[in-house]
Structure formats: structure tokens, C-alpha cells
Chain A
Amino acid sequence: MAVLEVRNLSKSFGSLEVLKDISFKVEKGQVIAVIGPSGSGKSTLLRCINQLEKADGGSVCVCGMDMLQKNKSGKTVYADNKILREIRLKIGLVFQNFNLFPHMTVLKNVTEAPIRVLKMPKDKAESLALELLGKMGLEDKANSYPYELSGGQQQRVSIARALALNPEVLFFDEPTSALDPELTGQVLKVIKELADNNMTMVIVTHEMAFARDVANYVVFMDGGVIIEEGSPEQVFGNTSNERTKQFLSRYNQG
């Protein structure tokens, strides 16, 4: 069973069609890089899957649970709130600008959801959080507040926070584009380690070298449609698609 299956997803903002008939699948252990020019709908796609934006049509199925589908009369309907919540628990999301809770320590940021949502005992949640922070190289920052950390450290905390709910799949929306270039390395390294440990991930990124190195599947989007998808070797090295070539050539020059 696929972790995520999206079929014919569409979404418009007013008269602007941002997603047109998007279909793709995420299998367990896959690391998918989503690339494409600015405004191509990458964020919107992630936000629709994470229920932060309402899709207009199509179907989304997460771990066998239908989040969005056509009903008998052909209307696209969402599942009931209980299932939607269940689905959110299976999906983690890492934001471009972290969205840490500023009034909580790093440790509390990570333990809050396990304690409140999963009803995990406090000591268990804390040892889990410390373990995750350790993996992120932040064990000594547990008692700091977000404002005391660099952007790269904050982003790693937000990754730990998402992982604390033990999601089936983790989504990243340009996790390094709010960071100074010298800080992106630490974050990318952490994501690479997660990939090596078979974490299922979907990563929207402008870091082509990273996508090529970490992803085992690449999706190229432009104008709200998936133009091309396949292995990194195929998309980056061997594409015959003119638009993909054009897009990649801009990165290769820079």
C-alpha cells in the first residue's frame, strides 16, 4: 500500500488554476524531490495534501485512508474530521520559516504534541525529544528558546518536532531557503541522515545538487502540472523534455 496516493488533484485561487490534474504516488521509504520554477504550485500541492488548503477536485489517500474523494453524485468531498485528524497524524510538515512556538523552550516545542495529542507521559515524551534532538545535533539546546538559535538550528528543531509524532511521511517545503547559505549544510545533512534511515519524505527544494544526491525519485512541476518524473539520473542527467532542460540549465549555469 502506498503511503500517499494523489489522483487528478486540482486547485484554483479564484480564476487562477494553480494545480491541474496532479497525480503521483509515494511508496514507503521513498524520498521524492519536487522541483520547479517559482509559482509552479509546489507549495500549494504540499498545502493541499496537508489540509492547509482546500483542494477543488481529485482524490488523496493517505495510508489507506481517503482524505478526499468523489462521492456517488460525483462531488469531491473531504472525509469527516476524525479521519482528517487521523491523517494529519500520519503526515509531518516542515515549514520554510520553521514556525516554532516562540514561547516554549526547544524541548517543549518537541514534547508539546506528543503530550497533548498522543497523551504520552511527560517523562517518556522528554526522553523521546532528547533522543530526536540528539540526532539533530542539538542536545545542548534543549532548554534554549527559539530566538536564541540560528535559523539552521531552528529548522532542525522543527524537524525534530515533526518527527516526535512518528509520522509515516514527512513533507518539507523549501526547508533551507530561509537560511543563510552557510547554514543550509547542517539542515541538509540531517535530512540526508533521515533518508539513509529510510524515512519516507517529500521535499520541495531549489537545491538541485541536494535533490540529486538524496532523492530516489524526482518530480518536476511547471504551471501546475507535473511535466516529468523519474529517477534523479533520468530527470537530471538524461531528460529529453525541453522544459526540464531549460529549467535545469538555469541552475547549471549558476
Chain B
Amino acid sequence: MTGEEIGKVVEILLEYLVPTLKVFGYTLLFSVPLGMVVALLRMCRIKPVSWLTSLYILIMRGTPLMLQVIVVYYAVPYLKNSQAVPGLLRNFLSQIDIRADSFMLSAILVAFTLNYAAYFAEIFRGGIESIPKGQYEAAFSLSMTKTQTFFRIILPQVIKRVVPASANEVITLIKDTSLANVVSYAEITLKARQQMQLYSSLMPLFIAGLFYFAMSLVLTVIFSFIEKKLDYYK
């Protein structure tokens, strides 16, 4: 490939960095709070709730994310034609155009969020369970409410403990966004493949790889900064 061609490929990939970052950003935005909720449900004292949550986590972590994306995406056309689905829901589903970018993104985000929430939940649960009982007892004997205890005493300590493991997940997520190309969502990996065919060259793939590498690097730097920030106590 000529330098000019490489420049063109870089330009296209830069443009499709936006959808990649959309999948990344929205997934984080939704899966972190959902993961917290799932962690709390998993630790719920009402047994059926905790069992159901465990089952959800087991399934999400035990099956491939790519498969989950495909299931969520193709569920819509299948449910649309299924007699078992209530008419109202079928009407709603039949209005959806599965080739629309916005639908693709939604389907991907549903699968990614459900999947990543399960991973984050296990990290958060580990963090919450690692806080010594004495912290709860001290807060309790100071007459703090349960909510105050959680948000003022427990959560800040949990955050510090879960940052290293969460950093791993976040860096994995930036690379996992490439799975979105299985439903033909136009992002970096999909575009790089098209360019590869166009130029009959592996170069576009290497450039895409470089993009992911750079983003992982940035995330690593950000997280080591956060870890340092949280290092003010032991």
C-alpha cells in the first residue's frame, strides 16, 4: 500500500472510532451501576433472589459474548413472527428495522451490558465481602443508617479494592467491542476488514490493531493514575 492509501485507511478507521467508543462508553456507563445492583442482589438474604442472580451470572460468564450478541440481535426477527409472543409486543417489534444502525447499537449494548454487569458484579461482590465486619459494627454503633454506612463507609473502601480488577475488565472491553462486527455494526474491525479486501493487504488490520493497542495503553495509564490517586490510605 502506498503512503497515501495508508493515510486514507487511517482516516476511515479514525471516523469509525466513534461507533467503537460508543459501544465502549455506553457499556461502561450501564454495566457498572447494573453490576453494583447485581452484586447486591447476589448477596441478598432472600435465597431465591440470590440463586436467580447466581444463575444469571453463571450463564453470562459461561457462554461467549459473541453468541450473546447474536442471540439478542436475532431475537427480534424471531419473536416478531412467533405466535407465542403477545400481540402488543409483536406490533412493537415489527416496527423495528434490524438493519438500522440504532437498532444494532441497542442490541449490542443490551448484550454487552448484561455480560459485563455479570463480570463487574463478581468483582464488586468480592470487594464488598472483603471489607471487615468491624467497619459495619463501628458504623452501626455510631448510629449511622444502613444507607449512610454503605455510601460513606463501605463503598469508598470497596472502590479502592476493585480498581485493579475492574481495570482488567475495562481494557478487555475496549478489545471486545470488535465483536460488534458479527451483526455488521460498522466499527473499526468491520471497516478494517472491508479495507483489507479493497486493497488486498493486511495493512488495514495492523492499523486497526494499533488503534486498539493505543486505546488499551491510554486506559492503562488512566487506571494507574487512579490507583495512585487512591493510594492516600492503606
Contact = CB atoms under 8 A, between A and B. Distances in A.
A110 to B, nearest CB: 10
Contacts of B232: 145
Interface residues on B, range: 10 to 19
B134 A117 contact: no
A112 B148 CA distance: 10
B143 A113 contact: yes
Interface string A74-96: 00000000000100110111010
Interface in B94-139: 132, 134-135, 137-138
Contacts of B143: 85, 88-89, 113, 117, 165
Given A52-B140, A103-B160, A112 B152 contact: yes
Interface in B178-234: 232-234
Nearest to A171: B141
B233 A93 contact: no
Contact of A93 (B135, B141, B156, B234): B141
Q: How large is the interface on A (under 10, 10 to 19, 20 to 34, 35 or more residues)?
A: 20 to 34
B142 to A, nearest CB: 4
Most buried by A among B143, B144, B157: B143
Given A52-B141, A113-B144, A165-B142, 19 more contacts: A52-B137, A52-B140, A88-B143, A92-B141, A95-B134, A99-B134, A99-B138, A100-B138, A101-B138, A103-B233, A112-B144, A112-B152, A113-B142, A113-B143, A116-B144, A145-B232, A161-B142, A162-B141, A165-B143
25 contacts: A51-B140, A52-B137, A52-B140, A52-B141, A88-B141, A89-B143, A91-B141, A95-B134, A99-B134, A99-B135, A99-B137, A100-B138, A101-B135, A102-B234, A103-B233, A113-B143, A116-B148, A116-B152, A117-B142, A117-B148, A145-B234, A147-B234, A161-B142, A162-B141, A165-B143
